[in-house]
């Protein structure tokens, strides 16, 4: 099923997902056979369009599945060795020991994740006091430190402000401050910069890079924007129609994409070419969740598709340089 990865099976991982299958609604499989790992201190980008299954995968890792979704198979393990925690079917008590403490998340619209009737300071304090067990004065000091660390210049002033008084970028910084407050091992960012203005997005991405360095934080970045992944992630996982179709070190995958879908994505992504032209597009439509397709799920839209592409399900093939691709056309190393 899953090809032997380059790393030793016992090597430490911050997160390990094995053969995850998620279904929605009336048993429609939306994520199938997804396996990946995030190594300590590494940032991994999970990139795909709507319908690719990336959001569901992310929610499965966080234990925030919608009522209509269900994890059918697979395992999700946080940490390694003695600290490994199996999150797959964890109960509420298990999650309470993990959420915020070892695993944190930031999402797309920071304003809706903050209580509008409480000051920012109160909300940062809250995490430190309730989950972190700090006293009131200690929490306040630490909160101010955290706010400064995420790049808020006038931390003391902002501490007393309400969410509606702050811009989107500032709110995202506040949410990040809350997320890292208890020094988690892994931070999951689900489209965290999609709604931000360009300049602010660059600032927040830079902040994420800095936090990774200073805290040794591992990062799982879920996004539809290949450019964001290019700038921020060590490794990239490209998802299409519920499967991972290519993975590997970012520079190598984007520099020399092996899967036709990745190549197509590179073709339509922003490369700073401002000359006037008709833009590239990917013809066709991704398959809907639960659609059963013989063989490769990208075949209907692929220019290289041939008969053997739709004959049977295509496995992920290991390539040189810690890469994988789900395509029968790639050159497999001898």
Partner 1 sequence: MSAATAPERSDAPLLRVQDLAVRYAAPRKGTHLGTGAALEGVALEVHAGEVLGIVGETGSGKTTLARAAVGLVAPATGSIELEGRDLGALRGRALREFRREGRVQLVFQDPLRSLDPDLTVGRLVSEPLDVAGGLSARDKASRVDDALREVGLEPASVRSRKPRHLSGGQRQRVSLARAIVTRPALLFCDEPVSALDVSNRNLVLNLLDRLRRDLGIAVVIIAHDLSSLAGIADRVAVFYRSRLVEVGPARDVLENPAHPYTALLTASAPSVTRHHDLRPEDVRADDPARAGWAAHGGCVFADRCRFAHDACRVQPATGPLADRPDHSAACHAAGAWEPRSQEDRA
Partner 2 sequence: MTTLRNLLRIPSARVALVILLGVAVLAVLGARIAPYDPLRQFPDVLAGPSGAHLLGTDYVGRDVLSRLVAGTRLSVVGALEAVLVGLALGVPTGLASVWLGRAGEWVSLRTSETLMILPFTVFAIAVAGTLGNGLQQAMFAVGVLTSPAFFRITRAVALGLRTTQYVEAAELMGASRWWVLRTHIWSKILPNVAVAAAHAMGSALLVVASLAFLGLGIVPPAPTWGGMLSSDLGFLQQQSWAPLFPGLLMMLTVGSLNVLADCIREATTGRVRRRGLLTRAAARRERTPLDVPLPGADLGAPQPTDPADPPSPKEPRHAAAA
Q: Which residues bind partner 2 (CB under 8 A)?
A: 24-26, 28, 30, 49-56, 59, 64, 66-68, 107-109, 112, 190-191, 194-195, 224, 242, 285-286, 288-290
Distant-in-sequence, close-in-space partners of 192: CB < 8 Å, separation ≥ 6: 106, 107, 108, 172, 204, 221
Q: Are 318 and 5 in contact (CB under 8 A)?
A: yes
Closest separation in Å from C-beta 46 to partner 2:
12
Query: Is residue 200 near partner 1 by the rule CB under 8 A?
Result: yes
Closest separation in Å from C-beta 23 to partner 2:
10
Total residues contacting partner 1 (rule CB under 8 A)? 44
Closest separation in Å from C-beta 224 to partner 1:
6
201's enclosing H/E stretch is helix 198-215
Given strand 69-78, what is the order of strands in its sheet? Answer: 28-38, 15-24, 69-78, 85-86
33's enclosing H/E stretch is strand 28-38
Closest separation in Å from C-beta 33 to partner 1:
23
Spatial separation of the C-alpha atoms in residues 306 and 284, rounded to whole Å: 17
Query: Is residue 175 near partner 1 by the rule CB under 8 A?
Result: no
Spatial separation of the C-alpha atoms in residues 266 and 268, rounded to whole Å: 6
Spatial separation of the C-alpha atoms in residues 276 and 278, rounded to whole Å: 7
Spatial separation of the C-alpha atoms in residues 78 and 90, rounded to whole Å: 11
Spatial separation of the C-alpha atoms in residues 269 and 49, rounded to whole Å: 12
Binder of partner 1 out of 231, 234, 249, 263 (CB under 8 A): 231
Query: Is residue 117 near partner 1 by the rule CB under 8 A?
Result: no
- Taking contact as CB under 8 A, which single stretch among the options 98-106, 139-147, 172-180, 201-209 is the one that binds partner 1? 201-209
Closest separation in Å from C-beta 268 to partner 1:
5
Nearer to partner 2, 82 or 279 (CB): 279
199 binds, among partner 1, partner 2, none (CB under 5 to 8 A by kind): partner 1
Chain contacts with partner 1 (rule: CB under 8 A): 49-50, 153, 161, 164-165, 167-168, 197-203, 205-206, 224-228, 230-231, 251, 254, 264-266, 268-282
């Amino acid at each position: 099923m899953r090809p032997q990865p380059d790393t030793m099976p016992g090597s430490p991982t911050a997160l390990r997902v094995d053969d995850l299958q998620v279904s929605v609604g009336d048993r429609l499989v939306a994520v199938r056979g997804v396996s990946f790992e995030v190594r300590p201190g590494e940032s991994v980008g999970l990139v795909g369009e709507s319908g690719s299954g990336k959001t569901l995968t992310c929610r499965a890792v966080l234990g925030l599945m919608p009522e209509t979704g269900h994890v059918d198979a697979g395992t999700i393990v946080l940490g390694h060795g003695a600290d490994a925690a199996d999150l797959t079917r964890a109960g509420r008590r298990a999650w309470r020991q993990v959420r915020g403490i070892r695993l944190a998340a930031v999402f797309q619209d920071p304003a809706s994740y903050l209580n509008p009737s409480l000051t920012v300071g109160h909300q940062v304090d809250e995490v430190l006091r309730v989950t972190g067990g700090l006293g009131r004065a200690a929490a306040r000091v630490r909160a101010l430190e955290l706010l400064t660390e995420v790049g808020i210049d006038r931390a003391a002033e902002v501490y007393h402000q309400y969410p509606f008084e702050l811009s989107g970028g500032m709110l995202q910084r506040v949410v990040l401050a809350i997320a890292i407050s208890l020094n988690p091992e892994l931070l999951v960012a689900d489209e965290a910069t999609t709604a931000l203005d360009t300049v602010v997005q660059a600032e927040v991405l830079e902040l994420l890079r800095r936090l990774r360095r200073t805290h040794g934080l591992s990062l799982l970045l879920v996004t539809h924007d290949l450019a964001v992944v290019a700038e921020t992630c060590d490794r990239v996982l490209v998802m299409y129609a519920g499967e991972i179709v290519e993975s590997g070190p970012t520079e190598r995958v984007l520099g020399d994409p092996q899967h036709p879908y990745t190549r197509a994505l590179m073709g339509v992504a922003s490369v700073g070419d401002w000359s006037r032209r008709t833009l590239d597009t990917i013809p066709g439509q991704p398959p809907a969740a639960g659609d059963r397709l013989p063989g490769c799920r990208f075949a209907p839209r692929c220019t290289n598709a041939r008969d053997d592409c739709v004959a049977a399900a295509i496995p992920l093939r290991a390539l040189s340089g810690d890469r994988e691709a789900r395509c029968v056309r790639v050159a497999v190393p001898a």
